[in-house]
Every structure is written in C-alpha cells, then in structure tokens.
C-alpha cells in the first residue's frame, strides 16, 4: 500500500526539500503540496489522504487549529507537525489537538523516515530534539522558579476555581485577612500584577494540581 501524502508549508523551498527526502521512500506518495491551510481543507474534502506533514507556523490559520479541524472530520488521517524552532507548550497543544507526531525541521533524514513510519503505524512520535524540549524544562525553567508553599497552593487552586477571598477563607477556615495576605505574597513572589496573570503563569508552568 502506498500512503497518499500531502505537505503543507508556506516556504516553497522547504516543501521541495521535504518532498526530495520523501521520494526515496517507496510507499510514500506525495500527491499534493500546499502553501496554506485553507487550500488543504478544501482538498481533503474531495480527495483521499493518508498522511499530512504540516508546518506549524502558517499564515491565516495556524497548524494547531488546522490539525484540530482536520481531525474532527477525518480522524484517520495521520498528521505530523513540523517547525524550525519550537517550544514545549506548542508541541503539547498540537498533540492534544490530535497530532500524531512532531518533528523539528533540522532532523536527519533517518529521523524523518523513522518518525513517519512509526506514525503511520499508530504511534505518537517526536524527533530527538523535540523529546529533549518537552522534558528538559526541568533543568532550566522549573529550578529557578520558587515553589508555592502548601498553603499557597491551596489558595491558588481555589482562586483558579473562581472563589473570592471570603469564600476561600470560609473553605479553609481562615480569616479573610489571612487569605488576603497569602494572595498578596503569591503575587509578589512571582511578580504578577493580578490573579488572572498568576493563574495563567501557574498553569503554563505546571505548578497547580
């Protein structure tokens, strides 16, 4: 069986580069190349596609939303995301929206080949550098960020649930003024302007739950 494959990237040079790599694989057939996500959405309505390799940074519609849209209608299409540089949260978002894998464009030919075959086989795949990106914040990101104390975490959690200072005080059997102090200490510790920014910060850095 030959896998009908589509490449989406807004840089024509990158498209031809990837296409060049893939022609060597005898069961991957490149049926179409696109420079925008909108054109791709039209195409897959009328044509059978097995595999999509897509850049994440696309004009008009970004790769994450594009992947989500495609997977809703065509869950069987295998979608692999690509980008030049990347960050942890972007990769995770892509996977959470149905992506079957993520490759950095500087990956070797062997990595590309490996990842594509494994993704077709039903696995969720990452190129080497992506793997280090998603599991490395441990040594940089998280070590320099001071941790929440137990009580602070309790209060942050209730804040994220929309509770007011008074409600939190009631929940934890504390004085209103105590909760107010804790909240202010947390805001100062991370230099956040208000609770909204704090919650966004804590969630993005996996510091809650």
Partner DNA sequence: CTTCTTTTACCTGATATCAGGTAAAAAAAA
Partner DNA sequence: TTTTTTTTACCTGATATCAGGTAAAAGAAG
Give the interface with its own copies as residue ranges (CB under 8 A).
68, 71-72, 75, 88-89, 92-93, 95-100, 118, 122-126, 128, 131, 134-135, 137-139, 142-143, 159-164, 192-200, 203-204, 206, 209
Q: Are 54 and 63 in contact (CB under 8 A)?
A: yes
What is the C-alpha separation between 87 and 90, in angstroms, rounded? 6
Q: Contact letters (x/-) for DNA, 97-136, by CB under 7 A?
A: ----------------------------------------
Q: Long-range contact list for 122-127, CB < 8 A, 24+ apart?
A: 124/95, 124/99, 124/100, 125/80, 125/100, 125/101, 126/91, 126/101, 126/102, 127/102, 127/103
Distance of CA 65 to the CA centre of its chain: 11
Stretch that binds DNA, among 47-55, 98-106, 135-143, 168-176 (CB under 7 A): 168-176
Q: Considering the complex, what minimum distance in angstroms separates the CB of residue 158 from DNA?
A: 10
Q: Which residues bind DNA (CB under 7 A)?
A: 147, 149-152, 164-166, 172, 174-178, 180-185, 187, 193-196
């Amino acid at each position: 069986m030959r896998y009908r494959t589509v490449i989406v990237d807004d840089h024509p040079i990158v498209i031809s580069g990837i296409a060049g790599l893939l022609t060597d694989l005898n069961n991957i057939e490149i049926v179409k190349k696109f420079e925008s996500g909108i054109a791709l959405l039209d195409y897959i309505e009328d044509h059978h596609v097995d595999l999509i390799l897509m850049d994440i940074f696309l004009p008009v519609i970004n790769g994450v939303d594009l992947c989500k849209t495609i997977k809703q209608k065509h869950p069987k299409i295998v979608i692999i995301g690509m980008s030049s540089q990347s960050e942890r949260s972007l990769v995770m978002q892509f996977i959470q929206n149905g992506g079957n894998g993520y490759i950095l464009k500087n990956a070797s030919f062997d990595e590309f080949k490996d990842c594509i075959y494994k993704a077709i086989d039903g696995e969720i795949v990452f190129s080497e550098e992506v793997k280090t990106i998603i599991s490395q914040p441990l040594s940089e990101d998280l070590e320099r960020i001071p941790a929440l104390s137990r009580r602070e975490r309790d209060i942050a959690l209730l804040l994220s649930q929309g509770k007011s200072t008074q409600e939190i005080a009631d929940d934890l059997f504390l004085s209103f003024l105590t909760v107010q102090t804790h909240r202010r200490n947390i805001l100062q510790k991370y230099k956040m302007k208000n609770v909204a920014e704090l919650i966004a910060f804590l969630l993005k850095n996996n510091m809650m739950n």
